[in-house]
Structure 1
């Protein structure tokens, strides 16, 4: 009996020791965000109705059918009059981009946000231990991380990662990478830079599935500073609680729904197929199966489980039981509405994503941070709030994460010049009203003159 009691006590001791070790390990695996800085282009690069029309008419490959398609797409896109286009397009040289054009665009986007980030936080570039850059369609040699290291004279032992080809969801890939690196590198700073090369990849052909990208994608960038230094917890604005990544690239249909290709005339562009909606829904569903148990309290999980069993059908769990805000990638109106419908979200929940799409457009991997900036500028983010960040991108990937707000946030950030005007009473695009009368004769006149 004494031997049995001894074994039981020893087992309890090891179990208690194991639990304490696990708790301490998790406490040691923190990932705090100290700040983020989004990019806003100069006013002269606003891609309003008039400038959009000029660019459309400049494409000699388009006929009336393609023009009508563009008109319909622009009207229903959810984009407003104040999004920003790449400099090469405003210069009228989108058909003949150079390597120098790509570098100049990246330098403007990246260095502007990094300069502001270092100035805002007081952290020196020489203190950065980890650097991750994600740009899908431009991967030069030396790499973009090397360009940044050279510009800011960073340390020789910095851990640099250059991510390419991962689409709109790449930013959360980089964040997840930082979170895992923090497990090995203690008391470190990490910088993530998320942007996209727009100008040199402007599509100049007439294939409808490739013209879509010109209607939706706009100039944008964001740089973020993270740390796992516990001494800086009081300075953190958010803490990463969990991250889940899903990649459905093994499916040919999902793999091919977002792809950079050449059309039959050799024009390079980004093709978005009708399979995109289906691929997004499947990847999002797979992600939620893993994420939901990490987010919802036990009582809500049990309620959802028994409700599903009794009704003999699958229904969406009530994520609002564990999440206060939804930061949805502003990929397009259909994407936002689809996620909102699937999760049973209200117009108030979807407002930040819709407004980010309207004001800045689809800024690819940087998009989620413009949505977050809107929430902060509207003073919606309070200490203890949970934010579900949802991102979808080529691959096809769905990368989601949950943040905990560490303090009340009220920085007006990149929204400072317009936040008082949002949300506007009407989101209609005036393109149709101004240009719906155009016919083949007018297009012929434009091309001749």
Structure 2
């Protein structure tokens, strides 16, 4: 049975961080050592990021609060709220992004009714609450109360792959299934000033965003589908358990992103690809460089550099990942879906429209875990203005009214 992605949409908070301005704030903190200050400048300048988005509006100098919790623009000091304070904000702000991305994905599939959704899979590693985001999406959008709900929590940057793989399995076991997958991450909630290199790197890389996809194998789904889900594979590298981790501390979640991670990827990326490609007879007989599209999770510039160098990929094949990193930063699990959407919005290459538009995608996370996927691009998606999503959200636009809008009018990031 062939399973398709019918729509893929994204959402970000309204507050934009300029990388150079954030660098100057972090570098000016009084508790930094001379080495720490130099590391801040090096990490922020070397991250290949221009802008990021955050749900914490007070992280900009233009925001004013009577009771600042993260940043006081009057003193220039970064504050250090407790994990409870950070998680309370997650529960409020992540809900908005979950719902916004899910609404956009549903609006982009106008032939489906809300009651057509049979399964919901939500993903996040940057906060917890219960009733959780799966419950909130059902209630806010008016999905059937009998929707089967699943939440994948605390898996890290690769979690979009288990979510899509679960959606594929649901559709293969139930030909009438329509699965809504939503990833939303508020990584910026956990930034803090520190002399620790891992913490500094996290502050330079991480950002907030959400992405949602509608997945189905219903008859006729191919007529409007964007993407075919072909194969998935998971590989644990023999080393790296201590090099990438995500722990809960008293003042937020604490990231471990060791400098050895790019070297682990360099040593094991080819081996991690082999089980995936072996599942596809057509590709198993070809060099992996024959795959035209590559959707790599941009965990950082050095990771992309290692993947490109080790696999011998062209600069053009890394443009989607590098552009998403430059404009959005690392949004953990949502990021690879941003990259996939970028590829889908590009004009069709020769062979794309007749099933030749193969995409190899991969993401890396704690463990060290390498998740990979093979997809087929079927058509070019329509890119619209992100502001349309916010306008609909602010106006309380209901998916039930979407028959009044054409697919081209559906809000897309």
Secondary structure of the structure 2 residue equivalent to 1:345: coil
Q: Select the residue among 46, 52, 59 that pairs with 1:83.
A: 52
Structure 1 alignment gaps of length 5 or more? 1-28, 302-317, 418-449
Q: 1:352 maps to what in 2?
A: 320
Whether the aligned pair in 2 keeps the contact of 1:373 and 1:412 (CA below 8 Å) is: no
Distance in 2, Cα, partners of 1:267 & 1:110? 21
Q: Kindly indicate whether residue 91 of structure 2 is the aligned counterpart of residue 103 of structure 1.
A: yes
Distance in 1, Cα, partners of 2:56 & 2:251? 23
Whether the aligned pair in 2 keeps the contact of 1:129 and 1:189 (CA below 8 Å) is: yes
Q: What TM-score, normalized to structure 1?
A: 0.75
Whether the aligned pair in 2 keeps the contact of 1:102 and 1:199 (CA below 8 Å) is: no
5 Å-filtered alignment, 1:190-229, equals 190-229=179-218
Distance in 1, Cα, partners of 2:247 & 2:19? 28
Q: 2:402 maps to what in 1?
A: none
Q: Select the residue among 394, 414, 438 that pairs with 2:366.
A: 394
Whether the aligned pair in 2 keeps the contact of 1:283 and 1:398 (CA below 8 Å) is: no
Structure 2 alignment gaps of length 5 or more? 71-79, 389-413
Q: Kindly indicate whether residue 276 of structure 2 is the aligned counterpart of residue 276 of structure 1.
A: no
Change (3 A) 1:170 1:345: same
Q: 1:152 maps to what in 2?
A: 141
Whether the aligned pair in 2 keeps the contact of 1:326 and 1:350 (CA below 8 Å) is: yes
**1:344 Cα shift?**
0.9
Distance in 2, Cα, partners of 1:242 & 1:262? 33
Q: 1:34 maps to what in 2?
A: 6
Whether the aligned pair in 1 keeps the contact of 2:9 and 2:341 (CA below 8 Å) is: no
5 Å-filtered alignment, 1:232-243, equals 232-243=221-232
Length, aligned pairs only: 364
5 Å-filtered alignment, 1:24-423, equals 29-42=1-14, 44-57=15-28, 59-80=29-50, 82-87=51-56, 89-90=59-60, 93-94=69-70, 95-96=80-81, 97-122=85-110, 123-248=112-237, 253-261=239-247, 268-281=253-266, 284-295=269-280, 297=282, 300=285, 318-321=287-290, 323-380=291-348, 382-383=352-353, 384=355, 385-407=357-379, 409-413=380-384
Whether the aligned pair in 2 keeps the contact of 1:128 and 1:189 (CA below 8 Å) is: yes
Q: Which shows bigger deviation, 90-99 or 136-145?
A: 90-99
**1:368 Cα shift?**
1.5
Whether the aligned pair in 1 keeps the contact of 2:87 and 2:127 (CA below 8 Å) is: no
Distance in 2, Cα, partners of 1:410 & 1:98? 36
Whether the aligned pair in 2 keeps the contact of 1:129 and 1:159 (CA below 8 Å) is: yes
Change (3 A) 1:99 1:333: closer
Whether the aligned pair in 1 keeps the contact of 2:246 and 2:366 (CA below 8 Å) is: no
